[in-house]
Structure 1
Amino acid sequence: MTDLATVSRFYNVSHGFTYQAYYEQVGIKLREHKSRNHWPEVLGIDEHFFRRKNRITEFCTVFTDLKKRKMFEMAHGKDFKSLTEQISELKGREHVKVVVIDMSSTYKSFAKKFFPNTVIVADKFHVLRLLTPSIMKAGKDIHGHRQELSTRRKLLCNRTNLDYFLRVEIDRYLKNHPKLNELYRWKEKLFEFYRIKGFSRAYRAFEKLTYEMSHSNLEEVQRLLRTLKRWKHEVLRYFEKGYTNAFTERMNGTAKLVQRRAFGYKSFKNYRLRTLSACLFKTF
């Protein structure tokens, strides 16, 4: 049977009874699973949208085990107080050695305080996307509408993955737009930076990259420079640890599918149980 409403009709019982029985059993199963596990050695943290209530946007924080590639826990909210209230009972946080996050100062502060023995890694894909809003905005400022949108999207792709003729088309388009051209070249330099192998080489390349950025006259590049300097150690740790949050983003995608299938949730408790069940026990 595909859903709880079908179960209710098949057994001729109320929807309330079916939902209560289902979530009780899922809760029992998850408690048994949690009792056998402790905080993982390599932890991924990311958030996704939960709902909008009284004009306030609420988020959920997802915790994943990046080494075993499993969902670990989910909490309501993303601030330090909300997270600690919900997950402080979980044991073994001293076992966490690496935490991978996007470039969020909130999660950075939380990880430093809550996990005493950890080092923080900035997620590679979030670093590569830092210039994406500036590139799209610069293209919009040129045309003022959706014209050439397909070309602007091609600017976000890794240049090494494009064929020769597409690269020629992009270069021809950028020739008449100096600001967009410069933003594109800096974006490509970030991709080149992440193709480097080894921590020592990456460190030298990072110093060279930031030095070159300091001579740019674009405010967008200067803003990127300030961000990279603020997250220098976390960015460089990727070349030492090698972890990204790709699996965590995948779990976020599963959570969004759970929301879409249910047309949203009012109760975070039920949403958490349903999402963890879908991710851990493949019940979706």
Structure 2
Amino acid sequence: MALLVYVDDIVVASADLESIQGVKTQLNERFQIKDLGPMKYFLGLEVARHTKGIAVCQRKYALELLDDTGFINSKPVYSPTVLSQKLSKNEGQPLEDNIQYRRIVGKLLYLTVTRPDIGFATQQLSQYLDKPTHLHLQAAHRVLRYIKAAPGQGLFFPTDSNLQLKAFSDSDWGACIDTRRSVTGFCIFLGNALISWKSKKQPTISKSSSEAEYRALAATTCEIQWLFFLLTDLGINHNGAVAVYCDSKSAIAIAENPVFHERTKHIELDCHLVREKLNNGIIKLLHITSENQLADPFTKSHCPKSFHSYISKLGLLDLYNPA
């Protein structure tokens, strides 16, 4: 059984309904709780159940965000970023009042709980909270127009999915034009369900694309190890190594080479980490083409057609789509 507690809101999850009732009875004797029945709404998350699976979205939260910002009747767009635009802290006119920008980005960050498709765009916007410009605000407005296109889109967890982990790891070398730091992107699936993803600027500068890819690989490996511990706590034994798909042959070669060279000395700790998990059979590295790299939209901008091609493979679902 698992209990998720946030202040005075509690979610109880178990495969045994009698055990759930027993826990609720004990809690009621001590705290006088109010039973709201099967979870349908929790902290802005809307949960819909079906025999085929569970869908989680934040449609009400998204519509309130659009209404508060005046974009409820805006013209929708079909990608959260513009392919030709790269944001910089030195371009554009500084905003006289940055409260609106900060409020938008803060709400977008919470919306990424069920919207991995805006993960990269929100990561980009969050870097300019101290001194945003009108260009940054325009980029934030484009994300809002993208949300307007499908406010009910969210995660879907199918019931027929297996419990085998698989991961996709990628990076964009020197993506930040201000610091020349690379961007790490990964997404991890449990069967066909997307359960973990990240889009984050790397803390140090990478001297080569191989180094940037390897740092992303190390971050993905750490997340996989944490998920292993989480599944164990939930009583789930993961059989076999986790397939980690990477589109960099050089990064895979570094991981599989037992000898350290001068070129890999500066990332030796990452090498030890990945190789240890590789040798212990926790992960196995597989090469994949860039066209099939599902972590790619977490590292860079795409045109609407290319972006939709990647996002459609993440297992997202819009219950409110009439189609």
Q: TM-score normalised by the shorter chain: which range applies? A: 0.3 to 0.5
TM-score (norm 2): 0.31
Q: Which has the higher helix share?
A: 1
Q: Which has the higher strand share?
A: 2
TM-score (norm 1): 0.34
- Between Structure 1 and Structure 2, whose CA radius of gyration is higher? 1
Relative contact order higher in (CA < 8 Å, ≥ 6 apart): 1
